Structure 1
Amino acid sequence: MTEALRIVVVAPDLAIQDPEDDHAVSQAERSRSLRIGLLENGFNLIATLPADVFLTERLAQLQPDLIVVDAESEARDALEHVVLATRDARRPIVMFTNDQDTSHVPDAVAAGVTAYIVAGLSSQRIRPILDVAMARFQHEERLRRELAEAKTELHQRKVIDRAKGLLMQRQNLSEQAAYDKLRRAAMDKGLKVVEVAQRVLDVADLLG
């Protein structure tokens, strides 16, 4: 059996200041229903945090697998705090809201929200929503890593090609001979070919 996902819920304070405030009572009830639904579905709800300036530090300490944002009228403010808090340590973010204004959904997705769910708080829906969000996040992270690796590889190839060209020009070597010289130097010094190539370019820049 796999370990339960460790989840942090980012939500406003449940304390109701005015029992006659139907909106506050309704929001508190749906927020409680969400948390109960998470527990009923076997998730490990490790904390409920407010969306404030301390969120980054708290998430760094807790290291959750997934963040659930429970928001309604303050959805934009909560989202801004969560996006800032996960900027350097990306995690899947699922936003549950009853706010029928979906005009900011594209901005939310672009900012890093993995799933944006309107009025989807039934207990039966929570697990498939979070499972799909987690799978989507992992897929996007894999694509992100592959893209970063491809960019790094392209940059390294350009560095090596520039160094080869420099050696070919200044030492009258063939392309293969220039590469072999870089490779031998890398083996002798216990470095990567691209590191030797960069040193060749750096020295050339210093000498003019």
Structure 2
Amino acid sequence: MRILLVDETPERAEGLRAALARAGHEVMAQLPDTLALLSQIETLQPDLIIVDTDSPGRDMLEHLCAVTERTPRPVVMFTFDGSHERIREAIHAGVSAYVVGRPDQREVAPLIEEAVVRFQHFQALRRQLQEARSRLAERKVIERAKGLLMKHRGMAEEEAYHALRRLAMARNQRIAEVARRVLDMAELIG
């Protein structure tokens, strides 16, 4: 894996770099803080981000939040701050594995694997949620278009649906696209 390492302490980072190299990972770059994190991610395209800090501050968590929104990556955080509030904040910012204390060198590879699996699982859930929201929005549009046809054309519900469906098939479009056009035309006409 190609890793971007964030650690304000160069000496501490060297030990982690060595453990990562032994596990077969490549540290692409090391940053002293998260200020340039987003631009470095866009430039380097790492597979994973490791943040090694005594305690994640508000600015660090905000930068991680921006990363999660724009270019999501698995994030492993090593810290000495075990407060429940800080853990919650880090997880909400997109941290996949929050590790309190310094891991043994043998634990680094399994922790990375855990973070990647959690990240992939979360991304799959996020996609499913987006798809469900999209389907729900499409259903609402179709229902509104059916209602419009029922009201203005005196059609039964099933008849309105079949009219939308026939038009969608004839134009080789999705029924939701046809329903949107029906609503747009009704709005235009008034």
TM-score w.r.t. structure 1 length? 0.83
Q: State the 1:102 CA deviation.
A: 5.8
Equivalent in the alignment of 1:61:
43
Once the two structures are TM-superposed, the CA of residue 52 in structure 1 deviates from its matched residue by 4.4
CA distance in 1, matches of 2:162, 2:81: 64
Query: Could you tell me which of 8, 30, 33 is aligned with 2:4?
Result: 8
- 2:79 corresponds in structure 1 to 97
DSSP 3-state at the match of 1:72: coil
- Quick one: distance in 1 between partners of 2:62 and 2:147? 48
Alignment partner, residue 180 of structure 2? 198
| Structure 1 Cα separation of the partners of residues 4 and 110 of structure 2 | 18
Query: Aligned to 1:104, what secondary structure does the other structure show?
Result: helix
Q: Is the 8 A contact 2:75 2:96 kept in 1?
A: yes
Residue 99 of structure 2, aligned match among 108, 117, 130: 117
Matched, 1:44 2:26: yes
Alignment partner, residue 181 of structure 1: 163
Q: Distance in 2 between matches of 1:119 and 1:164?
A: 59
Report the Cα distance in structure 2 between the residues aligned to 1:101 and 1:170, rounded to whole angstroms.
61
Q: C-alpha root-mean-square deviation of aligned residues, in Å?
A: 1.8
Identity of aligned residues (%): 43
In the alignment, the residues of structure 2 paired with residue 177 and residue 79 of structure 1 have an alpha-carbon distance, to the nearest angstrom, of 54
Which residue identity does 2:135 align to in structure 1? E
Secondary structure, counterpart of 1:90 in structure 2: coil
Out of 161-170 and 46-55, give the one that drifted further.
Answer: 46-55
Query: Which of 83, 88, 102 does residue 70 from structure 2 map onto?
Result: 88
**1:52 to 1:112, Cα distance in 2 relative to 1, 3 A:** closer
Higher mean C-alpha deviation, range 153-162 or range 85-94: 85-94
State which drifts further: 187-196 or 143-152.
187-196
The aligned amino acid for 2:8 is P
TM-score (norm 2): 0.90
Corresponding letter in the other structure for 2:4 = V
1 or 2, which has the higher helix percentage? 2
Report how far residue 108 of structure 1 moved: 1.0
Aligned residue for 1:64, secondary structure, equals coil
Counterpart residue identity of residue 72, structure 1: D
Three-state SS of the structure 1 residue aligned to 2:188 is helix
Q: Does 1:72 align with 2:68?
A: no
> Aligned equivalents of 1:44 and 1:205: distance in 2?
57
SS of the residue corresponding to residue 63 of structure 2 reads: helix
Count of paired positions:
189
How far apart are residue 174 of structure 1 and its match? 1.8
* Alpha-carbon distance, 1:60 to partner: 0.7
| Residue-by-residue CA offset, 1:149-171 (whole Å, 9 max, x unaligned) | 11111110111111011111111
Structure 1 unpaired stretches of 5+ = 15-27
Unaligned runs of 5+ in 2: none
